[in-house]
Structure formats: structure tokens, C-alpha cells
Structure 1
């Protein structure tokens, strides 16, 4: 396929995209023309094949193929209702995969939507990484505040380590900090939180935040009283997680947060930019969902 044609098709497909509520989509009747289908009924057959492919990937068809109605002009100022389908990027990819690759527009679409889908996957992965990094930073900040607060109330650094370990024991079903490190294969000189999933980091952070609040509110002093408070808060958070079937001690370790930080910095140089739909498509052109 010639470079000029690739450039032209890329521009055409991008300009055909709409954006609503942060979701990029294409309309089936417009995609029909882009892929070189002359008849709607023939294109519908390809769409049905794509829906079957969607089912086979355990995706919800209704999340990617949404039946809609729109008004189209039939001349002399009159309009009639026309059925159409809103298609996600993934739906377009499946339709292209079920088309005839001998047709140049379809061959292009197969690669175009595959790449676009991969970009979305990379973006979602990056968001998950950023959420974990932010949760870790928030926990570190909250623990620093607790350390300073309890130091002023007669607890030294060793006492703080004891308080945190007992809190971990309450959160992890009897496994203190050292036990969890051994369980997850973490070296003794590395913080446990650097290898925990986001949900567990956030749980630790919330328990510590509550401890900070109550230590000040109730003017708690000494390792014994503060430790009891911290254990209670972690037990409460564990109980809350348990209602959703989550046992923190059973969750596997995740990538070292230090490696994650380096990867995020490296990925920042090549991260694909998100794309909104083209201008010139007004709200009154948006189809209505059935």
C-alpha cells in the first residue's frame, strides 16, 4: 500500500471518529463507506460476525456495539429515523478483522484499529501504574506525619516500627511486617509497601490516616495506647476489605515501586497522546441510543 494512500486513509478514519463522555466511537453507517461496503445489509453480516468474535473474547457486546437512531434528511426538508450502531475502537477492530483483507480500506483498518486499541491498552496500563505510585507517595507522607506526631508523644523510631508492624499484623491476618516480607519474598532492607498492590497500599494509608486523626483528637500518648489505636484501625480496614472478599495477605506482590518509577519516566517520552473526536460535529448530530 502506497504511503500517500495510507496517509489519506489515516486522516479519513480519524476524522470519522466522534467523542462522547470521554469515549471515542464511530458510526456503523459511516464506517460502512470507509471500508468500501456498498450495501448496508452486507455490512450488517460483517458486524454480526464481529459481535460473535466479541462474545468469544468474553467482552460484553453491548459495551462495544450500541444500537442508536438518528434523523436523516430525505429531501424537501423532511426527515426520517434511521437505525445505526455506535462502535467502540475495539468493535471497529473486530469488524475489520472479519472483513476481506484484499480490499485496501479493510487491510488498512485492520492495522489502524489494532494499533489504536493497543494505544488504549498502554494508556490504561499507565493510569494503573500512576495510581499505584500516587498511593505509595500518599502512604509515605501519612506515615511521616504519624512518625513526627508520635515522636512528640514519647515514641521513638523503634517504637514507631513496632506500631507499624503491629498494624500490619492486624491488616494481614496475623502476619506482621517481617512475616509479610518473607511471605512475598521481599528483602529485609526494603519497605513492604514498595511491593504491595494499590488496594493494599490504600488500605494501609487509610488506617494510618485514621490513627493520625485519633491520636490528635484523643491526645493519645505512649507506644501502648497509640499501638492499640493503630491495630484497631487496621482491623477495621481489614474487616471492610473482607466484605468484598479481599484478604490482603493473599494478594501477590507487585513490581518493585522503584522499577515502576523508572519505567513510568521512560514511558513518558513515548506515551501516545489521547485523541478526541474531530471538530465540526455538533451536539444535534449525535445519535440517540435505543
Structure 2
């Protein structure tokens, strides 16, 4: 996510917090959060809230402690006011709403991190967003590798072919450096995949090459290990050339933090959240 968008979203979310700064309990209102998360219609957003309530209950937490039905008065153009139903939300409730939203929407991705962290410092949010992006990229790589393995097995009927083809692809991406040599360079344990220690850009590069190979195997009806290997090597070499044009040399990039550690840290933060947030009290029942 680009820094200017992070700055914009951070300022917008902080503005909502300041609206309720006079109350003892930190809370958000669902109708304020709705447009922030990219939902134009309340009816659609309400469905996400219902899913979040179900997640709250499934986790063993009291829904009423985190989702409180409220009524607030809104001004009409005529100068009169009318009552509108709303929902007061704790940080944990907002986190669950974000988790049940569409992660492809950048405001949702931002909110997942913003509400997961107890701190609201922008630099820490930026760091966690970068970690989340890397985790998502790794999951996508796993999916494209699984698809490639399946397609190769369908075509060749031999389980070891995928490992050989992937290895040749890695060698093309890393300028002749083998997967094993890259693991040694980056200090990757032998029992762990190289991709768990690669930076986001390299993970995405591998995934992109896989996607092209998957597409072309089917398009060109490739049915031999030699043909598929040549296709995969070419795609990785092309991706390497694209990176090189931008001054990026994959085999020279330093190792990134172990993704398993990041995943455990994010999971621990999510589990800790309902225990550390305040429950809604009577002061936050109304606006």
C-alpha cells in the first residue's frame, strides 16, 4: 500500500476517534465506519457486521460487550431531527468487521491492521501493513505452486517433475544461483522453504512466473517435461529481466524476517485484542 494512501486513511480513522474523545471508553460508530471501509449501502455493511458478531460469539466473547445498539439524532435539511439506529463498536468489534470484509479493498486491509494494533502510531501501522502484504503474497505463491504442481502431474503423471521444474525456474530467476545456494546465502534452515525468507518483491516475482507458466501450459497444450521446463525457465528469466530493468537483482536482496514468526505474531495480536480492549459502558451508548 502506498504511503500517501496510508497517511490519508490514518488521518481519516484518527478523525473518527477524536469525535468521541470526551468519552471514557474508546469506541466507533458503525455508520461512521461504513463509508470509511468502502461500503456505500448500510444494508450491505450490516451483513458484514452480523458476520462479525457471529465471529465474536464463536470466539467465546459476549457480543453485547463489543456491539451495542444505539440511537442517535441526525439533522435534516429542514432543520428538524430524526432518530437513526446505529451500533457502538469496540476496537475488537471493528477488527472483526474488517476481518469479515473484502481484503482486496485497501481501506479494509488498512482497517485490519489499524484495529489489530493497540498503538495507533502511523509508522507501526505501516510496518504491519508491509508484513501483511508479504503474508498475502506468500499465500498466493503457495496457491500458484499448488496449481502448477497439479497441472504438471495431470500432464506428466509423475510427482517429481514439479520439483525439478520449479528448481530450474528458481535458477533462472536468481541468475544461475540454485535454490540450495540461495538458502545457504540467506541462512534458511534446510527444512524450510526458501520463499518463507524472501522479500515481498521476490515472492511476487515467483508467483507471477508461476501464473504465466500455468496459463501457457494450458494455452499451448504442453505435455512434456522438456516443454514445460523451457516455458517455466523462460518466464522466470523474463521476470528477472523486468526486475533488472528496475535495478532489482533478486539474488542480491537480503533475507527478510521468517514469515512463520510474523504469522505467529499477528495471530497472537489478534488473540490478545479482546482481552485488552475495554468493553462498552453506558457512557458510549449514545451520541
Q: TM-score, normalising length from structure 2?
A: 0.54
User: Which one of 225, 228, 247 corresponds to residue 226 of structure 1?
Assistant: 228
Q: Work out the CA distance in 2 between the residues paired with 1:252 and 1:123.
A: 23
Contact persistence 1:155–1:222 (CA under 8 A): no
Unaligned runs of 5+ in 1: 1-19, 27-115, 274-290
1:22 matched to which residue of 2?
A: 9
Shift of the alpha carbon at 1:252? 0.8
Q: Work out the CA distance in 2 between the residues paired with 1:221 and 1:263.
A: 43
Q: CA 1:155–1:239 in 2, change beyond 3 Å: closer, same or farther?
A: farther
Contact persistence 2:152–2:161 (CA under 8 A): no
Shift of the alpha carbon at 1:117? 8.8
Higher strand share: 1
Contact persistence 2:168–2:229 (CA under 8 A): yes
Q: Work out the CA distance in 1 between the residues paired with 2:127 and 2:177.
A: 30
1:196 matched to which residue of 2?
A: 198
Q: Work out the CA distance in 2 between the residues paired with 1:231 and 1:188.
A: 24
Structure with larger Rg: 1
**Residue aligned with 1:152, SS:** helix
Shift of the alpha carbon at 1:154? 0.7
Deviations 1:23-66 (A, max 9, x none): 5289xxxxxxxxxxxxxxxxxxxxxxxxxxxxxxxxxxxxxxxx
Q: Work out the CA distance in 2 between the residues paired with 1:23 and 1:164.
A: 41
Unaligned runs of 5+ in 2: 1-6, 15-117, 278-287
**Residue aligned with 1:190, SS:** coil
Shifted more, 181-190 versus 138-147: the winner is 181-190
2:258 matched to which residue of 1?
A: 256
2:185 matched to which residue of 1?
A: 183
Shift of the alpha carbon at 1:168? 0.4
Deviations 1:66-87 (A, max 9, x none): xxxxxxxxxxxxxxxxxxxxxx
Shift of the alpha carbon at 1:240? 0.4
Deviations 1:156-195 (A, max 9, x none): 2321111001100000010121111111111222111011
**Residue aligned with 2:11, SS:** strand
1:142 matched to which residue of 2?
A: 144
Contact persistence 1:167–1:176 (CA under 8 A): no
The runs of 4+ residues in structure 1 deviating greater than 4 Å are: 270-273
Q: Work out the CA distance in 2 between the residues paired with 1:166 and 1:208.
A: 12
Q: Work out the CA distance in 1 between the residues paired with 2:189 and 2:236.
A: 24
1:167 matched to which residue of 2?
A: 169
What is the RMSD computed on CA atoms of the aligned residues? 2.7
Q: Work out the CA distance in 1 between the residues paired with 2:135 and 2:246.
A: 23
Q: Work out the CA distance in 2 between the residues paired with 1:213 and 1:194.
A: 25
Shift of the alpha carbon at 1:152? 0.7
Contact persistence 2:156–2:225 (CA under 8 A): yes
**Residue aligned with 1:175, SS:** coil
1:156 matched to which residue of 2?
A: 158
